[in-house]
Amino acid sequence: MAARPLLTRTLAIVLRRDSAALGAPAAAHSRGLHTFTLPDLSYDYGALEPAISGEIMELHHKKHHQTYVTNYNKALEQLHDALPKGDASTIVKLQSAIKFNGGGHINHSIFWKNLAPVREGGGEPPKGSLGWAIDENFGSFEKLVQKVNAEGAALQGSGWLWLGLDKELKRLVVETTANQDPLATKGPGLVPLLGIDVWEHAYYLQYKNVRPDYLKNIWKVINWKYASEVYDKESS
Amino acid sequence: MLSLRAMLLPSLSSRVPSSSMAEEGGGEPPKGSLGWAIDENFGSFVKLAQKVNAEGAALQGSGWVWLGLDKELKRLVVETTANQDPLVTKGPGLVPLLGIDVWEHAYYLQYKNVRPDYLKNIWKVINWKYASEVYDKESS
């Protein structure tokens, strides 16, 4: 069909023209390489106070997450170049940067959706099917919170806490991952419902070394509406 | 072609300009045998600092950056370890001369996310006298 190649060529020209204005990362777009971007928050940086300070939210989003996005795109571009050359050594060497920065982008993108200001329902415990499932799997919402907080306080180094859905075994799990490893690294059938960042940058400016206080307070701004949506969708 | 000065006093070649040194000698680059060894192993003190800073900035997550002595191979190494793993976890014959903490708690209140700035500045307060003592003792 002649129309489709024409459309593709036109799109490529448009993307190349636009990418010149957007700078180098977007230029990759015209070569068929997807460029990841920093997602916007649906709330102001200060909207989660006093649970999480605006200073932390801004640094966390604008600096930390942005850096993961930037470095993820860079690593993917290098991979894109190495693949057609069959440069196996480079392809393998890039895996660490891809996992770390890609994981950072994935995890933080989930994290921002896991949080909501109190006036938008942040902190309201889950109802409906997810509420039921929590009671079934952990005994009660309070017991879930205790378990997550205990695992979080005990996590050595940097990492994440997760409430996940095991699609295969049809049950909820609490897991931890190190550094920026996504939940999927603990099992391919695991779907993240809620992720809590316990890297020191997530709380240090406000809570200093007292990670347990951060964990105690973050529940006040957890967005259970989003977690419930994911649960309903993935457990149907 | 080394100058006479550089040949006689190699530990003074390519020194990082010591702008503000702590009263107790913090930041003063190593002299003596450790200074020699650094030049031999890394080319210069500046190159060592660059290598340590690069590895420190690239370290994923929490961990430490080390200048160590490999007692077996009789050479200096730059290593990193994850979390609170001591240097020996990278090799039983490794002796730590200098360790730099790059956990976020070591710099975040002051340098926020900019770990490279912390690494750039910490050299101003490194106690090379201690590192030299350990080096001399462990390499004899």
**Domain boundaries along the sequence of chain B:** 25-139
Interval A47-72 mean pLDDT: 98
pLDDT (0 to 100) of residue A78: 98
Interface pTM (ipTM) of the complex? 0.86
pLDDT (0 to 100) of residue A17: 44
Contact B112/A at CB under 8 A: yes
Task: Considering only the beta carbons, identify the residue of B83, B108, B112 that sits closest to A157.
Answer: B83
Q: Are B94 and B77 in contact (CB under 8 A)?
A: yes
Would you say residue B98 has pLDDT above 90? yes
Contact A205/B at CB under 8 A: yes
CATH architecture of B25-139: 3-Layer(bab) Sandwich (3.55)
Residue A192: which pLDDT band, with cuts at 50, 70 and 90? very high
What digits encode the pLDDT tens for the residues B33-51?
999 999 999 999 999 999 9
In this structure, the dihedral spanned by the alpha carbons of residues B8, B10, B14 and B20, taken in order and rounded to 10 degrees, is -100
Interval B18-46 mean pLDDT: 81
pLDDT (0 to 100) of residue A32: 79
Task: Considering only the beta carbons, identify the residue of A63, A96, A204 that sits closest to B104.
Answer: A204
Contact A157 B108 (CB under 8 A): no
Interval A113-128 mean pLDDT: 97
Window from A15-29, A68-82, A214-228, B101-115 with minimum mean pLDDT: A15-29
**Residue in the block written with tokens 């977690």:** A227
Helices B128-138 & B32-42, crossing angle to 10 degrees? 90
Would you say residue A120 has pLDDT above 80? yes
Q: In sequence order, which residues have a C-beta less than 8 Å from that of residue A182 and are 6 or more positions away?
A: A103, A106, A107, A192
- The pLDDT mean for chain B works out to 88
